[in-house]
Amino acid sequence: MANRWKNTLTYRDVTDEATFMNRRQLLAAASGLALGSIAGTAQAEDLEANSWEDITSYNNYYEFGTSKSDPAKYAHTLVTSPWTVKIDGLVDNPGDYAFDDIMSKMTVEERIYRFRCVEAWSMVVPWNGFELADLLNHAGVQSGAKYVAFETALRPDEMPGVRYPVLDWPYVEGLRLDEAMHPLTMMATGIYGKDIPNQNGAPLRLVVPWKYGFKSIKSIVRVTLTDTQPPTSWNKSNGREYGFYSNVNPEVDHPRWSQATERPLGGGLFASRQPTLMFNGYEEEVSNLYAGMDLRANY
């Protein structure tokens, strides 16, 4: 598949190949897939490398606990096969879609994306997955649809964190339809050519690389097309701190910390911070989606 954007992120920016897998091994593991490395136009020469260990052992998935290490410790309890995604609302073909059936119809490719957490740390991740637009088109988007709502699995027997009212469970998120249909927006099913680990959102998670990481909802069980803006978990929890859009923006601080810089994961607690890039480095690709909008009011 031909790339539609200038590629500046490479495996040099992502992983210690000698420790985990080299490029040749990844291509072998992903044989039969349509591969492409799609990234923003910002330069990546100064990025710290991220390992499999970084990506899979330091993340937020509050359904398994609020510590960064909790998901890796406890997410093995989540049963991911079989898995079904309900697609409903303003679509021509509503129904319960088996994960395996979805995968048989989608074109899977590799994309190396920046990932920026609202907590001001960052990493670079090599995802495998397919464009969300392909899944939505398969379901048949109706003309009245304006937004896409997402819902995470809610399984108290498998998710110890939901026993506590950290958020209003289940976790929900949403995008405007044009954001959802943008070619950069993907549904990730793997990392490094391997199935995505439970702690990273198996078997199916959203990835929207120009938004803060909490927008990339994990372990999706429902996708709903709607004509009204859907509620989102962190916005419901604290609308002052977490807006519906939550685009990465160095000029709009979180009420409790600056977003002007970020700490690249892998360099240690006292690693040098680097400037935050507008739209996380994808400004050229996505800024047109917000033309004329006040990005402070619509944060």
164 in a structural domain:
yes
| Sequence-distant (≥ 6) Cβ neighbours of residue 273 within 8 angstroms | 261, 262, 263
Query: Any idea what the CATH number is for the domain that residue 70 is in?
Result: 3.90.420.10
141 in a structural domain:
yes
278 in a structural domain:
yes
1 in a structural domain:
no
6 in a structural domain:
no
Q: What is the mean pLDDT of each run of 10 residues along the chain (299 residues)?
A: 52 48 38 41 47 94 98 98 98 98 97 96 95 98 98 98 97 98 98 96 98 98 98 97 98 97 80 93 98 96
Q: Is 51 annotated as a binding residue?
A: no
pLDDT tens figures, 254-293: 999 999 999 998 866 667 899 999 999 999 999 999 999 9
Q: Is 280 annotated as a binding residue?
A: no
The one-letter code for the residue type at 216 is: S
299 in a structural domain:
no
204 in a structural domain:
yes
Q: Is 217 annotated as a binding residue?
A: yes
How far apart are the C-alpha atoms of 88 and 284, rounded to whole Å?
32
Q: Is 15 annotated as a binding residue?
A: no
Burial of 184 (0-12, 13-18, 19+ CB in 10 A): buried
Domain that holds residue 28: 11-290
How far apart are the C-alpha atoms of 229 and 272, rounded to whole Å?
39
Q: Is 290 annotated as a binding residue?
A: no
pLDDT tens figures, 29-65: 333 333 344 444 333 336 444 889 999 999 999 999 9
Q: How many domains does the chain have?
A: 1
Q: Is 224 annotated as a binding residue?
A: no
Q: Is 53 annotated as a binding residue?
A: no
In a 13 Å sphere around the CA of 7, the CA atoms on its Cβ side amount to 15
Considering only CA atoms, which of 103, 88, 90 is closest in space to residue 32? 103
Q: Is 152 annotated as a binding residue?
A: yes
142 in a structural domain:
yes
